[in-house]
A and B are shown apart, each in its own frame.
Chain A
Amino acid sequence: MSRGGRGGGRGGRGGGRGGRPNVPWDTGDEPDARPSELFPPYLVPTQKALSIAEKRGIQHLLLLRHQIHGGPLYTSKRTSLNDPTAPRKLYGQAQMNARYDVKNKASLDPFTAVPTYSSKFVREERALPDWTQRPVCRELFPTELLDIIDAAAAASTTPGTYKRRRLELTNISALPSAEEAFGMEGDDEGQGRNLLERLDAMKDEDGVEGGELEDEEGMEEEEQDEAYDDEDAGDYDAENYFDNGDEFGEDYGDEGDGEGTF
């Protein structure tokens, strides 16, 4: 009770003195307490046009990125969980990591999981880097990582038996530009060369990993596609399913007659 009284007293004294103390930030006018505008006019600064050097720098960066992505050490597992536009559920990084590279029914995307013919052209996703294609400098890595990066060398006990890996340069030398990708490029020669390169690349890759099998599958699928092709309104055409009621009757009649006569 005494506390309450004291508190009240102090409040009264403060209020009772009246007038504001003379402080340097007091300008005499009341602060503007009106609510601010919901969308105040805002001048959006725009970027200056990029200089040639900057553009070249960006092109170099993008090409490097493209090359790295084509290399054996790039890992990505872009699942639908990783949609940046979706509202983010904050499970925490640890929980996201626990799902990394887990293949089960929940992690499948029902729309893309069924293999199709064209999926053989899509760049495969890799959850773990592929160390078999790179020569590594063993002395620079800590000992506990050696059997990961250089499994073959770790397995072979005698030093002579292990065959040295060869470093391969990337064969990606240009970015896919819109003209190229969509065939709007003017000069035929360049296009032809690119096509050749591309075919070569496909041969290499398919040759190694059972391309024939894939091809067969692809063929089958294509055949099936043709069988079920509904190019001219197809095999299920509800209105014309029974060609014509009359004809049917006639046919039936005819047949019936024929049967009868036999």
Chain B
Amino acid sequence: MLVTKHAAELCALLVNDLYGELPSRILITLLTKGRSTIAQLVQHTSLTPRHLRNGLAVLIQQNLLYHHTNPDTNVISYEANPGACYNLVRSGKILEIVDRQHGTAERELVQTLMLLGHARIADLSQAFGSRAPKANGHTNGNHDSHNGLIESENHLNSVLGRLLRAEIIETVRPDSFRNPTDVHREIEDDVLKTALGEKTASKNKAESQRQIIDRFRTFRDQGKMLKRQLDATGGFVSKRRKLENGRAQNGHTYDEDAPQLNPNVVVRLNHERCLVELRNQRLAGFAADMLGEVTGEVYRAVLDLLTTNFSRCRPDVLLDEETISQQVAVTTVDILEHLDESINVQSGIGKASKDKIDSESAERVRTTPPDEDYDSDDSDAAPPGRRPVLRTFDIGDDDDDDFGEDDENSAGATNGDRETKVKFEGSAPPKDTRLSQLRQHLLLLTESKHQFIRHCGTFGRGQWTVDFTQLMERLRETELDAMIEQCHGRHGLRLTRILREKGKLDEKMLPSAALMKKGDVQGKMLAMQMAGLVDVQEVPRDNSRLANRTLFFWFFDKERSQTQALDDIYKAMVRCLQTLQVERHKERNILSFVERKDVQGKEEEVMTAEHYNKYNMHLEVQSKLLGQVMKLDELVAVLRDY
């Protein structure tokens, strides 16, 4: 990952805020100067070697560095890991989602791991094991088991096992601290060296390429070895938290006979898997914004089911593997089982009369993901006027008693000619109705212009899948559009969309295409060019290269505008954090007072309403600034990581 100036500043600021000044000073040098040895760092930072070693050790403890000992020369080099540094900003979100998805005990363990960086299982179990009796003796009875925190070694063991199986926690080995690019290159060198003796035919090349990929994959998946073993033995049944029901069970029921984990294994948080969970949340939020709360919840259930086995959001570039070849799909029945009981699927669906619904096209099964350019003729199967209007179809509205029939011919031709029955609101809906209503939500998600899910089979009342790559591309486009509209207004957005559709467009064509005045177009385009969104290409018509004999083609470079936007966002985040620093400095007296160990005892003497108000105000400002950083991070995640 290449870092820009602002990204480097951001990383250093985050480390400064969380882990202190010494590591941050070293980190910024490592980011600007690249891979260095201690001797070089001494020169670059003017810190003493003793300070440096301490700082480097802290950074390694928190997994923020790559380091490598050259086996021939015994020279040790250090390199910053900007991805890990950036992930610090997501700590709060990750904790929140782990708390929501898995439970409080899991959240506590993850928080402890964030605090420690990495830890040996033996140390963890000793620490958690020794904590419980102490807490008991302190305030007997007050230590309630309802708070869901980890209570005993056994409990820890089961929590750890579950998180390991969910891949949220991974194992660490000395190799994990090597830069993956380095490892890849080393493997490549190794493979090509042995193959050098023979003639390098094209067949050989493909063979060695495959070998490289295999070996790199084994390197990358070493962190998941323990997970594999657990999967094989079948221990720690992964249990997802359902909102109400799960909470009651979570505190107590942990399998006592869970297999003991190897105490010598070192574990840490796996950010890549956490990103998958964050992406699910983001997408569910997106769907909720577009289609309504209940549909969002349904979508969330679908995503949870689909991504249980995903270990990362994007395929690894070093592996150049194609996107997940066999599509995973879930059936409607599975979704219904997974869906929280408390969600009322009845709401959030509109009603439309039967003749307005083209059930054939609504229920159409698409077995392959639609191509990007094929997209427009995708709809040609349905006659133009009969496409169902968004949110207004309810094919299954009254088929609560002929569900079997509906299953066979999902086109539902027989449904159309029946009168809609009157429903009694008070009576509890039978399961079947719930299922068909759930299907309405799923169809709604399919039918949306963002194509949240794809109907890919008819088994089990319909199979559904998500084309993540295309979907994320659309989400990215939406975000970018929103950003352009914010900065350059409606007209700017219109112009960029025209350019995106047409590719390169002659300047003379632009005003007529956009239905705008020539002057307005030019002003807008110049402003956007200065912002780095669009650019112009000059093509001379003849050798004279006169301005009036030249064609000017405007174009919109998506890749570049995304990186540009990313850098802007990093900068905004840096500014937010810097503002927070200044705010903290302004209120430093109150803050240091609050942090004092004795404040609790003497508050009557020292407390004044003025200070109290000031402190409260500061907390508000702090949460606003941090909230802004989190929102910006959401954008970064969409543009870069998901």
Contacts and interface: CB of A to CB of B under 8 A. Distances in A.
Interface of A: 21-25, 27, 29, 45, 47, 50, 53-65, 67-68, 71, 73-78, 83-85, 93-98, 100-101, 118, 121-123, 126-129, 131, 134-137, 139-145, 148-149, 166-170, 176-178, 180-184, 191, 193-196, 198-199, 201-202, 205
B599 A57 contact: no
A183 B582 contact: no
B116 to A, nearest CB: 8
Given A58-B630, A140-B266, A148 B598 contact: no
A182 B596 CA distance: 12
Contact of A149 (B57, B100, B177, B522): B57
B47 A182 contact: no
Given A141-B57, A198-B601, A202-B598, 17 more contacts: A21-B547, A47-B631, A60-B91, A60-B92, A60-B111, A64-B115, A68-B18, A74-B20, A76-B20, A83-B585, A94-B44, A139-B174, A145-B53, A149-B61, A176-B595, A182-B603, A191-B600
B575 to A, nearest CB: 12
B125 to A, nearest CB: 9
Contacts of B615: 178, 181-182
Contact of A182 (B55, B522, B607): B607
Interface string B60-80: 111000010100000010000
B595 A97 contact: no
A257 B278 CA distance: 97
Nearest to A177: B619
Contact of B612 (A25, A84, A178): A178
Give the most central of A25, A27, A196: most B CB within 10 Å: A25
A75 B96 contact: no
Contacts of B266: 137, 140
Contacts of B128: 169
A102 B605 CA distance: 36
Contacts of A76: 20-21
A198 B598 CA distance: 8
Interface in B1-42: 17-23, 25, 28-29, 38
A170 B113 CA distance: 11
Q: Is the interface of B mostly helix, strand, loop or mixed?
A: helix
B126 A118 contact: no
A137 B76 CA distance: 18
A47 B142 contact: no
Contacts of A123: 592, 595-597
B112 interface: yes
Contact of B20 (A75, A134, A176, A182): A75
A18 B191 CA distance: 70
Interface string B430-446: 00000000000000000
A201 B597 contact: yes
A57 B17 CA distance: 17
Given A73-B61, A176-B595, A148 B54 contact: yes
Contacts of A57: 92-93, 95-96, 630
A142 B69 contact: yes
B626 A58 contact: yes
A78 B54 CA distance: 18
A210 to B, nearest CB: 16
Given A24-B508, A60-B91, A74-B19, A100 B172 contact: no
Contact of A101 (B51, B56, B95, B595): B51
Nearest to A145: B57
A97 B601 CA distance: 38
Contacts of A167: 116, 119, 123-124, 126-127
Of the listed residues B53, B522, B592, B624, the one surrounded by the most CB atoms of chain A closer than 10 A to its CB is: B53
Contact of A73 (B17, B51, B58, B96): B58
Interface string B149-178: 000000000000000000000001110110
B25 A180 contact: no
A85 B124 CA distance: 42
Interface string B465-495: 0000000000000000000001000000000
Contact of B38 (A23, A131, A144, A195): A144
Given A58-B627, A167-B119, A127 B22 contact: yes
Nearest to A61: B92
A143 B76 contact: yes
Contacts of B76: 142-144
A21 B548 contact: yes
A22 B118 CA distance: 68
A75 B22 contact: yes
Residue among B552, B582, B623 with max Cβ neighbours from chain A (10 Å) = B623
A155 to B, nearest CB: 16
A166 B96 contact: no
A61 to B, nearest CB: 3
A143 B75 CA distance: 10
Given A27-B522, A198-B601, A178 B96 contact: no
A122 B123 CA distance: 30
A181 B603 contact: yes
A100 B51 contact: yes
A128 B560 CA distance: 42
Contacts of B46: 94-95, 97-98
B132 to A, nearest CB: 11
B630 A121 contact: no
A135 B120 contact: yes
Nearest to B128: A169
B20 A166 contact: no
A105 B164 CA distance: 53
B232 to A, nearest CB: 26
28 contacts: A21-B548, A54-B631, A56-B96, A59-B92, A60-B96, A75-B19, A76-B21, A94-B46, A96-B25, A97-B46, A100-B21, A121-B599, A126-B20, A128-B50, A129-B20, A140-B60, A140-B266, A142-B60, A148-B53, A166-B123, A169-B112, A176-B594, A181-B593, A181-B594, A181-B599, A182-B603, A195-B600, A202-B598
Interface string B226-238: 0000000000000
B356 interface: no
B586 interface: yes
B624 A55 contact: no
A231 to B, nearest CB: 15
A68 B622 CA distance: 18
Given A73-B19, A83-B585, A176-B594, A129 B58 contact: yes
Contacts of B95: 57, 60-61, 64
Given A73-B58, A140-B174, A145-B56, A50 B96 contact: no
